[in-house]
Amino acid sequence: MKEITEIKGGVTAAKGFLAAHTAAGIKYKDRDDMALLFSERPAAAAGTFTQNVVKAAPVLWDRRIVEEGKAARAVVINAGIANACTGKEGMDYCERTAGCAASTLQIPQDSVLVASTGVIGMQLPMERIEQGIRAMAPGLARGREAENKAARAIMTTDTREKEAAVTFTVGGTSVTVGGMCKGSGMIHPNMCTMLSFVTTDLCISQELLQEALRGSVAKTYNMISVDGDTSTNDTCLLLANGMAGNEKITEKNEAYETFVEALTRVNRTLAKMMAGDGEGATALFEVKVVHAKTEEDAAVLARSVISSNLTKAAIFGHDANWGRILCALGYAGPQFDPERVDLTLESANGRLMILRQGVAADYSEEEASRILSADSVTAVCDMNMGEAEAAAWGCDLTYDYVKINADYRS
Amino acid sequence: MKEITEIKGGVTAAKGFLAAHTAAGIKYKDRDDMALLFSERPAAAAGTFTQNVVKAAPVLWDRRIVEEGKAARAVVINAGIANACTGKEGMDYCERTAGCAASTLQIPQDSVLVASTGVIGMQLPMERIEQGIRAMAPGLARGREAENKAARAIMTTDTREKEAAVTFTVGGTSVTVGGMCKGSGMIHPNMCTMLSFVTTDLCISQELLQEALRGSVAKTYNMISVDGDTSTNDTCLLLANGMAGNEKITEKNEAYETFVEALTRVNRTLAKMMAGDGEGATALFEVKVVHAKTEEDAAVLARSVISSNLTKAAIFGHDANWGRILCALGYAGPQFDPERVDLTLESANGRLMILRQGVAADYSEEEASRILSADSVTAVCDMNMGEAEAAAWGCDLTYDYVKINADYRS
* Res B313: pLDDT: 87
In chain A, the residue whose alpha carbon lies closest to the alpha carbon of B331 is A52
Per-residue pLDDT of chain A (410 residues; tens, 9 = 90+): 569 999 999 999 999 999 999 999 999 889 999 999 999 999 999 999 888 888 899 999 999 999 999 999 999 999 999 998 888 999 999 999 999 999 999 999 999 999 999 888 889 999 999 999 999 999 999 999 999 999 999 998 788 899 999 999 999 999 999 999 998 654 333 345 789 999 999 999 999 999 999 999 988 888 887 655 667 888 999 999 999 999 999 999 999 999 999 999 999 999 889 888 877 888 999 999 999 999 999 999 999 899 888 888 889 989 888 888 998 898 888 999 998 999 999 999 999 999 999 888 889 999 999 999 999 999 999 999 999 999 999 888 888 878 877 764 43
Q: Which residues pair with A395 in a beta bridge?
A: A284
* Res B85: pLDDT: 86
Contact: B408, A318; criterion CB under 8 Å? yes
Among partner residues A190, A228, A324, which is closest to B309 by beta-carbon distance?
A228
Interface test with B, best of A89, A340, A400, A402 (most B CBs within 10 A): A402
Cα separation of A324 and B343, whole Å? 35
Contact: B229, A358; criterion CB under 8 Å? no
Confidence check: pLDDT of B334 > 80: yes
Among partner residues B87, B327, B408, which is closest to A231 by beta-carbon distance?
B327
Quote the Cα angle for B383-B386-B387, to 5°. Answer: 105
**Annotation says B193 is catalytic:** yes
- Of residues B103 and A186, more confidence is placed in B103
C-alpha A327, offset from chain centre: 28
In chain A, the residue whose alpha carbon lies closest to the alpha carbon of B90 is A359
CA distance B347 to chain A (A): 19
Q: What is the CA radius of gyration of chain A?
A: 22
Among partner residues B53, B309, B369, which is closest to A229 by beta-carbon distance?
B309
Contact: A402, B399; criterion CB under 8 Å? yes
Among partner residues B321, B324, B397, which is closest to A402 by beta-carbon distance?
B397
* Res A358: pLDDT: 87
Task: List, by residue number, the catalytic residues of A.
Answer: 193
pLDDT band with cut points at 50, 70 and 90 for residue B184:
low
Contact: B310, A402; criterion CB under 8 Å? no
How many inter-chain contacts (A to B, CB under 8 Å) are there? 198
CA distances from B353 to A10, A272, B339, B362, B367 (A): 45, 40, 15, 8, 11
Structural domains present in chain A: 5-276 (3.60.70.12), 284-406 (3.10.20.340)
Among partner residues A85, A307, A399, which is closest to B402 by beta-carbon distance?
A399
Cα separation of B232 and A277, whole Å? 31
- Which residues does chain B have within 8 Å of residue A354's beta carbon, measured at their own beta carbons? none
Contact: B409, A319; criterion CB under 8 Å? yes
Quote the Cα angle for B255-B258-B262, to 5°. Answer: 135
Q: Are B266 and B166 in contact (CB under 8 A)?
A: yes
Confidence check: pLDDT of B61 > 80: yes
* Res A119: pLDDT: 82
Please tell me which residue in B193, B220, B235, B344 is annotated as part of the active site: B193
Contact: A397, B406; criterion CB under 8 Å? yes
* Res A190: pLDDT: 39
Confidence check: pLDDT of B402 > 70: yes
Determine the average pLDDT of the residues in B329-348: 93
Among partner residues A230, A335, A369, which is closest to B331 by beta-carbon distance?
A230
Interface test with A, best of B53, B279, B282, B303 (most A CBs within 10 A): B53
Contact: B408, A331; criterion CB under 8 Å? no
> Residues 6 or more apart from B410 whose CB is under 8 A from it?
none
- Which residues does chain A have within 8 Å of residue B405's beta carbon, measured at their own beta carbons? 309-310, 313-314, 317, 397
CA distance A355 to chain B (A): 10
Cα separation of A44 and A32, whole Å? 28
Contact: B87, A358; criterion CB under 8 Å? yes
Among partner residues A307, A360, A406, which is closest to B121 by beta-carbon distance?
A360
- Which residues does chain A have within 8 Å of residue B364's beta carbon, measured at their own beta carbons? none
CA distances from B204 to A255, B157, B175, B286 (A): 70, 35, 12, 33
pLDDT band with cut points at 50, 70 and 90 for residue B327:
confident
Contact: A405, B317; criterion CB under 8 Å? yes
Contact: B358, A190; criterion CB under 8 Å? no
Pairing status of strand A34-49 against strand A17-22: antiparallel
- Which residues does chain A have within 8 Å of residue B87's beta carbon, measured at their own beta carbons? 339, 358-359
Interface test with B, best of A50, A53, A308 (most B CBs within 10 A): A53
* Res B228: pLDDT: 56
* Res B309: pLDDT: 83
> Residues 6 or more apart from A396 whose CB is under 8 A from it?
A281, A282, A283, A285, A312, A313, A315, A316
What's the complex ipTM? 0.73
* Res A391: pLDDT: 93
- Which residues does chain A have within 8 Å of residue B400's beta carbon, measured at their own beta carbons? none
Cα separation of A147 and A158, whole Å? 17
For B3-21, write each residue's pLDDT tens digit: 999 999 999 999 999 999 9
- Which residues does chain A have within 8 Å of residue B231's beta carbon, measured at their own beta carbons? 327
CA distance B249 to chain A (A): 36
In chain B, the residue whose alpha carbon lies closest to the alpha carbon of A186 is B310
* Res A242: pLDDT: 95
For B243-298, write each residue's pLDDT tens digit: 999 999 999 999 999 999 999 999 999 988 988 887 788 899 999 999 999 999 99
